Amino acid sequence: MNGEIGSAATEVLQFVEKLRAILPCPVVTWDERLTTVAAQRALRDAGKKTRHTRGYVDQVAAQMILQTYLDRRAARRDQ
């Protein structure tokens, strides 16, 4: 995480450009690095045992990504 764009991110950005060319709505990119770690931590802090949360980590990470996007959008609207 040195600020450089890796090969996977480059592929995603190329895909995003293709989507933008065909979709009538805005396509927004969002940095999701470390959300899996944050989700695991949140579940652990909530008292959930690791072996019971494996199926939920991606769901919690997705919720965190969406919530941070919505929060940022609301903050920009309020400015």
Question: Using only C-alpha atoms, what is the Rg of the chain?
Answer: 16
pTM of the model: 0.76
Helix or strand holding residue 34 (H, E): none
At residue 23, the 3 state secondary structure works out as coil
Structure token pair of residue 17: 């450009």
For the chain, what is the mean pLDDT? Answer: 92
User: Taking the domains of the chain in order of start, what are their residue ranges?
Assistant: 7-78
Contact 60, 44 (CB under 8 A): no
Residue 3: predicted pLDDT: 76
List, for residues 40-74, the tens digit of each pLDDT value.
999 999 998 878 888 889 999 999 999 999 999 99
